[in-house]
Chain A
Amino acid sequence: MNKELDLAAAVATIRSGMTIGIGGWGPRRKPMALIREILRSDLKDLTIVAYGGPEIGMLCAAGKVRKLVYGFVSLDLIPLEPYFRKTREAGAVEVSELDEGLLLLGLQAAGRKLPFIATRIGLGTDVLTHNPHLRTIRSPYDDGETLLAMPAIPLDVALIHVNRADRRGNTQTDGPDPYFDALFARAAERTIVTTEEICDRLDRTHPDKAKQNLFERYLVSGVVHAPLGAHPTTAHDAYGWDMPHLKAYAASAAEADGWARYMADYVAGGEAAYIDKVGGARAVASLPIPTF
């Protein structure tokens, strides 16, 4: 069993119009090498589901997105994602803006093959106003409570960045927080992971880190070796986010041809050129992990 692919082969399995879930959280552990490969591709009309960071702004800026499903989009220290903002303020894409927990429950329902999960979240707010597809149900028990039926959010494919993977699709994710990567993987027909390190058998080389495994290998259809592939976002415990780069990216949104320049400067030349352009592998690998 060998699920190893390169970036181009992995993205070649994705079709325009698909619904893509992206792991990570804001500017943390985003599968950016895959995102850049999508930016270089002809894909379009994508529905993107994420706890959004720079991947949302970039995919929007490049015209890849038909619809966004999100709880937030932020670069953390740069609270407002500039290209997401531009896209929204132009009314350019369809959106489903959800509570973070509703997004969680929608992914969980999809993974459990349920039509919905009942919750109070969203009731009493404009989440219902701006998501007219959401419906309420009445508890069938004596309490009779009105609840929101959060529908499943099934994904065609999930894109997730991990620290280690083997060619069979076993993965290990370091860092303090698993975020909701496992829910994205379970909600998806299949998952493509990018990994800092690749090996043949994690059970033989890293059995001590088995608890870092977040989801089952049968969910994983492709493993791409993409060292530093989360840059400019954090990949605990390997490297921190690149805030100077994110600031330069954010500043480009205020320039007339800012996105075209960012694409030409950083994305168009491929991943090897990208890593060189952002300071080289050693510099990226030594970016400090932020504390709060």
Chain B
Amino acid sequence: MTAVEDFSLAELMIAAAAEAWRHDGELLGSGIGTLPRLAVGLAKLTIEDGLLLSDGEAFATEEPLPLGPRQGQAPFAGWMPYSRVFEILWSGRRHAMVTPVQIDRWAQTNISCLGDFDKPKVQLLGVRGYPGNSISHKNSFLVTGHGKRTFVEGEVDVVSSVGFSDAHWPAGMKRPEIAIGIVVTDLCVMDFGGPDHAARVLSLHPGVSFADVQAATGFPLLRAETMSVTPAPTAEQLAIIARLDPTNLRASALKGNPPGVRAAAA
């Protein structure tokens, strides 16, 4: 493994995000969106061979399929229509990485709408599968624009996935176990593994300070005891990422496709 200096922030995030599936064993790994999809493919090839993958539509694959148009018959290993994805996810044997529009200090997220639900300021997708996913299996998050509009001060506008708040459970109900993996952003890697599930920073991307991250987050963050600098992707990882993304969709995932190592402030 050779250390490299020339890599994009998107590639750093993909390599960091692949770590989400470490130790997962045999389950369905779902990366929703360009960077999470590349991350789960990288995880499958370098970290966790047990992962089941899908082609992004209706088939299971043993090899991550490159993004974009394909020639000929793809190497499908099984059939995975939505009905089967629901059966899998309700059984808990899935770990998804998704990109919510809002995330709060309780790890609750929102993709439904912004503002008042009855007359939203901005209608988004609807809650999609977030409620069922989040109460059934582990979820990690990937955020391309770390800021207070995403990491909100109060509660998310519409709680679309369950978190560690007590507010939304029916009276007398025991809160089920909730599994949140890691949160990969363009500034850092976090989790909700602090005391009482407080958010904490696991690693800072090169050139980013803890103060930068805190200033861009609407709720208090902790430093993990082992807080480090997010490792640069290796040459091997970069080669795999390039092979999985031959048309370089990852270059459009972050505004301006910034480099992985931020230039020191002047």
Are the CB atoms of B135 and A178 closer together than 8 Å? Answer: no
Q: Known contacts A126-B112, A292-B55; is A101 also within 8 Å of B123 by CB?
A: no
Kindly provide the distance from the CB of A163 to the nearest chain B CB, expressed in whole angstroms: 16
Closest to B165 in A: A124
Q: State which of B82, B161, B176 has its C-beta within 8 Å of the C-beta of A177.
A: B82
Closest to A183 in B: B83
Within 8 A of B (CB), among A178-226: 178-180
Within 8 A of B (CB), among A104-143: 104, 119-130, 136
Assess whether A73 is interfacial by the CB under 8 Å rule. yes
Q: Interface residues of B, CB < 8 Å — how many?
A: 52
Are the CB atoms of B120 and A177 closer together than 8 Å? Answer: no
Are the CB atoms of A89 and B58 closer together than 8 Å? Answer: no
Assess whether A72 is interfacial by the CB under 8 Å rule. yes
Are the CB atoms of A125 and B121 closer together than 8 Å? Answer: no
Q: How far is the CA of A176 from the CA of B59 in the complex (A)?
A: 8
Are the CB atoms of B69 and A88 closer together than 8 Å? Answer: no
Q: Known contacts A124-B135, A130-B158; is A89 also within 8 Å of B123 by CB?
A: yes
Assess whether B124 is interfacial by the CB under 8 Å rule. yes
Are the CB atoms of B132 and A102 closer together than 8 Å? Answer: yes
Are the CB atoms of B127 and A84 closer together than 8 Å? Answer: no
Assess whether B16 is interfacial by the CB under 8 Å rule. no
Within 8 A of A (CB), among B126-154: 126-132, 134-136
Q: How far is the CA of A200 from the CA of B245 in the complex (A)?
A: 47
Assess whether B50 is interfacial by the CB under 8 Å rule. no
Q: Which residues on B sit within 8 Å (CB–CB) of A63?
A: none
Q: Which residues on A sit within 8 Å (CB–CB) of B129?
A: 71, 99-101
Q: How far is the CA of A98 from the CA of B136 in the complex (A)?
A: 16
Kindly provide the distance from the CB of B255 to the nearest chain A CB, expressed in whole angstroms: 17
Q: State which of A80, A121, A127, A130 has its C-beta within 8 Å of the C-beta of B124.
A: A80
Are the CB atoms of B176 and A120 closer together than 8 Å? Answer: yes
Q: Which residues on B sit within 8 Å (CB–CB) of A85?
A: 122-123
Q: Which residues on A sit within 8 Å (CB–CB) of B159?
A: 124-126, 129
Q: State which of B125, B161, B168 has its C-beta within 8 Å of the C-beta of A74.
A: B125
Are the CB atoms of A128 and B168 closer together than 8 Å? Answer: yes
Assess whether A239 is interfacial by the CB under 8 Å rule. no
Within 8 A of A (CB), among B63-82: 67-70, 79, 81-82
Q: Which residues on A sit within 8 Å (CB–CB) of B57?
A: 176-177, 291-292
Q: Which residues on B sit within 8 Å (CB–CB) of A89?
A: 119-123
Are the CB atoms of A71 and B128 closer together than 8 Å? Answer: yes
Q: State which of A73, A120, A146, A177 has its C-beta within 8 Å of the C-beta of B81.
A: A177
Centre residue among A80, A123, A129, A145 by max chain B CB count within 10 A: A123
Q: State which of B128, B134, B173 has its C-beta within 8 Å of the C-beta of A100.
A: B128
Q: How far is the CA of A180 from the CA of B119 in the complex (A)?
A: 29
Encoded as 1 (CB less than 8 Å from any A CB) or 0, chain B from 94 to 132 comes to: 000000000000001000110001111111111111111
Kindly provide the distance from the CB of B193 to the nearest chain A CB, expressed in whole angstroms: 20
Assess whether B90 is interfacial by the CB under 8 Å rule. yes
Name the 5 nearest CB pairs between A and B, nearest first.
A292-B56, A91-B119, A124-B162, A176-B58, A88-B123
Would you mind naming 28 contact pairs between A and B with Cβ atoms under 8 Å apart?
A: A71-B129, A72-B125, A72-B128, A73-B125, A74-B125, A80-B123, A85-B123, A89-B119, A89-B121, A89-B122, A99-B132, A101-B132, A102-B131, A120-B136, A121-B135, A123-B169, A124-B131, A124-B162, A124-B175, A125-B160, A126-B117, A126-B127, A127-B127, A128-B170, A136-B170, A146-B172, A146-B174, A291-B70
Interface residues of A (CB under 8 A from B): 25, 52, 70-74, 79-80, 84-85, 88-91, 97-102, 104, 119-130, 136, 145-146, 176-180, 291-292
Interface residues of B (CB under 8 A from A): 55-59, 67-70, 79, 81-83, 86, 89-90, 108, 112-113, 117-132, 134-136, 158-163, 168-170, 172-176
